[in-house]
Amino acid sequence: MYFNHKMFWRAEYLALIRSPFRLRRWCYVLVFSGLFVLFLLIVLIGRGLDQLLFGRFRRQAVNNPVFIIAPPRSGTTLLQKLLSLDEQRFVHLKMYQTIFPAVCYQRLCSLLVWLDGRLGSPCHKLLGWCEKKWFGGWDDLHKMRLNQPEEDDALFLYAFPIGGHLSVVSFINELWEAGFPDSLQLSKRRRLMRYYRSCLQRHLYANGPNKTLLSKATQSSGSVEGLLEEFPDATFITIVRDPYRSVASHVSLFVPVWQAHSPDIVRNGPVAKAYARLAVEWYKHLFAFRNQVNPQRYYCIDYRNLARNPRETIERLYHHLGWSITDGYRAKLEAATQRQREFKSKHEYTLEEFGLSREWIRQELAEVIDAYKLDSEIRHQSKSPALK
């Protein structure tokens, strides 16, 4: 299993030694690091058991995987949920499956669910209560439940190069490769992707060996080149959204974490600006990446169209990729479209509260904004096809 131990120790050094001493920060970092090492050991044990008990997973093919990748707060969660409704075609990752990426653990979970059902589901009810306590505060931002579709960033978490660690460490520039694995040394990047492939093989083997793997990962905006190299037959679906909104929303997600362990980190300080820089570079990276992919295996959705009419947007996506839509799936899409029209986000932030400006975003992303006409008003799906 690949683990970037040098980056891990560098992050520990930055968080504990390079930063001004704060007891609260030390407690947060050490607790987080301890939990990380504990779960890493659990995963290593599970992967070792897989080799002994389910060795056939190594022969599991990962054919034509579909990756949903876009900067955070761009609608990837909505798109993943819409596509995961096509159960005949796709198998997706649920949150608990990304936390325990081993066949033996997933088989164990299935057994426990079956036993709980036989007893009247007491554990299921207790877990539902716990989930609301643990994750309920995030429901307006990103609803999380252990048995719902989730992005597979946690798979990369165990290898360590992932931007999620930065919310605790807060040294974005010094740990740039954590948010941008494509900038890793080529040999390390390939080892990382081989590890990722082994995770997907396990997941398909345990949950749908004859289906297409559907993955969603916002943090993979910085690793698309590595994914294309490892999975040359993959399909990439991205979403482009007004960066004036998405960048501010992206930065806001991490403010509660920063202020929890380091109240001295201000909302409009250099940490917020570094996170905004990472999001902007993801925009640029994905915009350049579109020219490296076979157009038949790439599709870019305009967020405005997705939010306005999910069903029509998915139909256009399927048409471009040559996929058929069953009557059952079409009915599910129509129901989802009705729910989306009733949804109103409560998560609104401005660039200015994080020390950013529209002028800076415009200067950095003028090419992207102009190419996708992101300064214009919402366009009706029937009059404006998704941009490719």
> 62 near 197, Cβ under 8 Å?
yes
Instruction: Tell whether the model's pLDDT for residue 382 goes beyond 70.
Output: no
Q: What residues contact residue 79 under an 8 Å CB cut-off, 6+ apart?
A: 68, 216, 237, 239, 301, 306
Q: Measured between alpha carbons, how far is 356 from 94 in angstroms, rounded to an integer?
A: 35
CB atoms under 10 Å from CB of 348, counted, come to 9
Please state, rounded to an integer, the average pLDDT across all residues of the chain: 85
Lowest mean pLDDT among 121-135, 241-255, 267-281, 368-382: 368-382
Q: Rg of the Cα trace of the chain?
A: 21
Q: What residues contact residue 269 under an 8 Å CB cut-off, 6+ apart?
A: 355
Residue 266 DSSP label: -
Residue-level pLDDT at 224: 94
Q: Measured between alpha carbons, how far is 364 from 372 in angstroms, rounded to an integer?
A: 15
> 152 near 216, Cβ under 8 Å?
yes
**Which sequence spans correspond to the domains of the chain?**
5-383
Phi, psi (rounded to 5 degrees) for 346? -100, 5
For the residues of 190-233, what is the DSSP string, one character each?
A: HHHHHHHHHHHHHHHHHH-TTSEEEEE-GGGGG-HHHHHHH-TT
Which tens digits make up the pLDDT trace of 251-281? Answer: 887 777 777 778 888 888 888 898 899 999 9
Nearest to 177 by CA among 348, 347, 7, 383: 7
Nearest to 108 by CA among 148, 34, 53: 53
Distances (CA, A) of 291 to 138, 286, 298: 36, 9, 10
Q: Which residue has the higher pLDDT, 3 or 236?
A: 236
Distances (CA, A) of 20 to 13, 27, 166, 241, 273: 12, 14, 17, 37, 20
Q: Measured between alpha carbons, how far is 127 from 2 in angstroms, rounded to an integer?
A: 32
Residue-level pLDDT at 4: 84
Nearest to 267 by CA among 349, 152, 337, 212: 349
Residue-level pLDDT at 385: 39
Q: Measured between alpha carbons, how far is 77 from 68 in angstroms, rounded to an integer?
A: 9
Query: Encoding tokens for residue 297?
Result: 């295996």
Q: Measured between alpha carbons, how far is 237 from 227 in angstroms, rounded to an integer?
A: 13
The dotted CATH code for 5-383 is 3.40.50.300
- Tell me which residue has tokens 């295996």: 297
CB atoms under 10 Å from CB of 300, counted, come to 19
> 271 near 355, Cβ under 8 Å?
no
What number is the average pLDDT over the span 300-318? 92
What number is the average pLDDT over the span 7-20? 85
Task: List helix spans (H) across the chain.
Answer: 5-13, 23-53, 76-84, 95-99, 103-118, 122-135, 153-157, 166-169, 176-179, 186-207, 224-230, 243-252, 255-261, 270-289, 303-308, 310-321, 327-341, 358-371
Residue-level pLDDT at 381: 37
Residue-level pLDDT at 361: 93
What number is the average pLDDT over the span 163-188? 80
Instruction: Tell whether the model's pLDDT for residue 137 goes beyond 80.
Output: no
Query: Encoding tokens for residue 173?
Result: 């520039």
Residues β-bridged to residue 216: 68
Highest mean pLDDT, choosing among 1-5, 69-73, 281-285? 281-285
Q: Which residue has the higher pLDDT, 17 or 153?
A: 17
Q: How confident is the model at residue 164 (pLDDT cuts 50, 70, 90)?
A: low
Residue-level pLDDT at 86: 94
Highest mean pLDDT, choosing among 8-12, 136-140, 150-154? 8-12
Q: How confident is the model at residue 314 (pLDDT cuts 50, 70, 90)?
A: very high
What number is the average pLDDT over the span 108-125? 86
pTM: 0.87
